[in-house]
Structure 1
Amino acid sequence: MKKLFVVSGIFFLVAVSCKDAAEGKSEENEQAEAIFPKGQKGPSEFFTGNAYPYGLVAMDSVYTTLAGNVYFEPGARSHWHSHPPGQILIVTGGVGYHQIEGQAKETIKKGDVVQCPPNTKHWHGASKDEGMSHIYIIPNTEKGVVNWMEAVTDEQYLNN
């Protein structure tokens, strides 16, 4: 009986491992897909849902550029905001949305590059069903970095 229990346990572990490997869901694969550390959860005064910003290039007077990564869990998004010098987003994983005030919401996915013009009110975040990560680049930081505004409502977020 003990031998049967051990054999059954080994069979179960092998079956689960093979299933995860076939689906590409091993812990090593998940780690390999993440380019940067997750970071700390962003504050609710700037994000709705769970968003994790992580700084990559600190602001200084030599490069005058700020860069980082943000991982958004499904449904998470930034609040409306603008950047005096503008912003560039490079989507590194998943599917999300970007919207400039007064324009239609755009779907963005891994490999997309988004340019947010200077002083333009916009938001970005994950789709409702899938997380999204992007690198943000803010050039010419001597002009300022970010002006945070109100939260994106559920109606705005879900609107096509």
Structure 2
Amino acid sequence: MKQTAQILRIRLILALVTTLLVYVEGFSQKNIKVDENTQQAIFPKGKQGPAENFTGKAFNYGLLDNDSTYNTVIGNVLFEPGARSNWHKHPAGQILIITAGEGFHQIKGKPIEKMRKGDVVKCPPNVEHWHGATPDSSLHQMYIIPNTGKGIVEWLQPVTDKEYNAFK
């Protein structure tokens, strides 16, 4: 009787462990893009950006603060899936370098463009634009804002769901 009870307990424990492993594997497969992008990140997550400038969660990590020698700001933004910036513009323009994930970028009046790891995007001076992650992937982007003596950023209105979902 004792051996039968022990065998049943061992089988129950094995069944529970197997169920747990199947659940964990299924969970990680559903979230693989976000996990891979997070594992590929070369900079820390940073501080969450203010809700008045972003839809969803975006995190900024500054790499080079503005100073009178370089007149340049450099940082990294992590956009969680579906997160995006408001429309905004930079007096001297902006350069984006995509380091992981997938995202969207749009210059006012032009179609949305998809961005992927390795892409470099130029945002012209004083031109309204936005950028952010796709619905299914996080996005890691380095940003470079040159000639900061002209100013850094002017935040504008949020990107509507209709604008965000217009990618074809």
TM-score greater than 0.5 by the shorter chain: yes
| Deviation for aligned residue 1:71 | 1.1
User: Contact 2:37 / 2:139 at 8 angstroms: preserved in 1?
Assistant: no
The 1-side partners of 2:21 and 2:121 are apart by 43
1:31/1:88 CA distance change after superposition, 3 Å: closer
Match for residue 4 of structure 2?
none
Cross-structure match for 2:54: 47
For residue 163 of structure 2, what is the aligned residue in structure 1?
A: 156
Match of 1:60 among 37, 61, 67: 67
Report the AA paired with residue 49 of structure 2: G
| Residue 116 of structure 1: aligned partner | 123
User: Which residue identity does 1:134 align to in structure 2?
Assistant: Q
Q: 1:97 aligns with which of 104, 108, 119?
A: 104
Q: Secondary structure at the match of 1:44?
A: coil
| Aligned counterpart, 1:125 | 132
Q: TM-score, normalised by structure 1?
A: 0.84
Aligned partners of 2:78, 2:30: CA distance in 1, in Å?
A: 22
CA distance in 2, matches of 1:107, 1:8: 45
State the distance in 2 between where 1:113 and 1:70 align: 14
CA gap 1:47/1:83 in 2 versus in 1, 3 angstroms: same
Cα distance in 1 for residues equivalent to 2:72 and 2:53: 21
CA 1:117–1:30 in 2, change beyond 3 Å: closer, same or farther? closer
Q: Equivalent pairs: percent with the same residue? A: 49
Structure 1 pair 33–157 and aligned structure 2 pair: CA distance change class (3 A): same
State the secondary structure of the residue aligned to 1:118: coil
How much has 1:24 moved relative to structure 2? 10
Residue 40 of structure 1 aligns with an amino acid whose one-letter code is: K
Determine which structure has more spread, i.e. the larger CA radius of gyration: 2
Give the corresponding residue for 1:36.
Answer: 43
Change (3 A) 1:42 1:21: closer
Where does residue 85 of structure 1 map in the other structure?
Answer: 92
Alignment size in residue pairs: 158
The alignment's C-alpha RMSD in Å is 2.6
